[in-house]
Structure 1
Amino acid sequence: MRSLILLGLVGFAAQLVDGALGMAYGVTSTTLLLAIGTNAAAASATVHLAEIGTTLASGVSHWRFGNIDWKVVARIGVPGAAGAFAGATFLSSLSTEVAAPVMSIILLTLGLYVLIRFTTFGLPRGNLGKPLRRRFLAPLGLVAGFIDATGGGGWGPVGTPAILASGRLAPRKVIGSIDASEFLVAIAASVGFFVGIGSENIDFAWVGVLLLGGVIAAPIAAWLVRHIPPRILGSAVGGVIILTNVRTLLRSDLVDATGGVQAAAYVGIAVVWAAAIAYSWREYHRDKATESVEAVEAELGRRAAGDATTA
Structure 2
Amino acid sequence: MRTLVLLGLVGFAAQLVDGSLGMAYGVTSSTLLLAVTANPAAASATVHLAEIGTTLVSGLSHWKFGNVDWKVVARIGVPGAVGAFAGATLLSGIPTETAAPLMSLILLGLGTYLLVRFTLRGLPVRRDPRPPGRRFLTPLGLVAGFVDATGGGGWGPVGTPAILASGRMEPRKVIGSIDTSEFIVAVAASVGFLIGLGTENIDFAWVAVLLAGGVIAAPIAAYLVRVVPPRVLGSAVGGMIVLTNSRTILRSDWVDAPGGVRAAVYVVVAVLWVAALAYSIRAHRAQQRAVRPESELARVSS
TM-score range relative to shorter protein: 0.7 to 0.9
Q: What is the deviation of 1:271?
A: 2.2
Q: How many residues align?
A: 295
Quick one: which of 272, 275, 285 aligns to 2:272?
275
1:53/1:25 Cα in 2 relative to 1: closer, same or farther (>3 Å)? same
Query: AA paired with 1:263?
Result: G
- The residue identity in structure 1 corresponding to 2:108 is L
CA contact (8 A) 1:76 1:138 kept: yes
RMSD: 2.6
Identity of aligned residues (%): 57
1:108 CA displacement = 4.5
Offset of 1:226 from its aligned partner? 1.6
Paired position in structure 2 for 1:120: 116
Please list, as runs of the form range in 1=range in 2, the aligned pairs for 1:13-52 lying within 5 A after superposition.
Answer: 13-52=13-52
- Residue 213 of structure 1 corresponds to which residue in structure 2? 213
Shift of 1:291: 4.0
2:94 counterpart of 1:105: no
Q: Classify 1:7/1:113 alpha carbon distance in 2 versus 1 (closer, same or farther; 3 Å).
A: farther
Consecutive unaligned residues of structure 1, counting only runs of 5 or more, are none
Find the aligned partners of 1:147 and 1:4 in 2 and give their Cα distance: 27
- Seen in structure 2, the aligned counterparts of structure 1 residues 21 and 277 have a Cα distance that, compared at 3 Å, is same
Specify the alignment match of 1:284 in structure 2.
281
Deviation at 1:299, TM superposition (A): 4.6
Displacement after TM superposition at 1:34 (Å): 1.9
Identify which of 253, 262, 265 aligns with 1:265. Answer: 262
2:243–2:266 Cα contact (<8 Å) kept: no
Partner of 2:237: 234
Q: Distance in 2 between matches of 1:72 and 1:143?
A: 16
| Preserved CA contact (<8 Å) 2:115 2:239 | no
Give how far 1:204 is off.
Answer: 0.9
Distance verdict in 2 for CA 1:144–1:246, change over 3 Å: closer
Determine the C-alpha separation between the residues in 1 that align with 2:103 and 2:204.
Answer: 23
**1:206-247: per-residue Cα shift (whole Å, max 9, x none)?**
111110000000011111112234245335534653465467
Distance 1:299 1:16 in 2: 37
Task: Give the stretch that moved more between structures: 122-131 or 141-150.
Answer: 122-131
Helix, strand or coil at the partner of 2:32? helix
The C-alpha deviation readout for 1:87-135, integer Å capped at 9, x for no partner, is 11111121xxx44x34753674476357524422226344264322111
Q: Could you tell me which amino acid in structure 1 is paired with residue 236 of structure 2?
A: L
Distance 1:164 1:243, change over 3 A: closer
Paired residue secondary structure (2:217): helix
Matching residue of 1:81: 81
Q: Which residue of 2 aligns with 1:188?
A: 188
- Please tell me whether residue 55 in structure 1 is matched to residue 55 in structure 2: yes
Aligned to 1:93: 93
Q: Is the 8 A contact 2:37 2:43 kept in 1?
A: no
Paired position in structure 2 for 1:162: 162
Aligned pair in 2 of structure 1 residues 11, 296: CA closer, same or farther (>3 Å)?
A: same
CA gap 1:240/1:163 in 2 versus in 1, 3 angstroms: closer
1:27·1:154 contact (CA, 8 Å) conserved in 2?
Answer: yes
Structure 1 residue 139, shift from structure 2 partner: 1.2
1:275 maps to amino acid: L
What is the TM-score when the length of structure 2 is the normalising length? 0.87
What secondary structure, in the 3-state scheme, does the structure 2 residue paired with 1:148 have? helix
Matched with 1:68 is 68
- Segments of 4+ moved more than 6 angstroms: none
> Which segment drifts farther, 152-161 or 287-296?
287-296
Matched, 1:12 2:15: no
CA drift at 1:38: 3.9
The structure with the largest alpha-carbon Rg is 1
> 2: distance between equivalents of 1:30 and 1:190?
14
DSSP-derived class of the 1:33 partner: helix
TM-score where L is the length of structure 1: 0.84
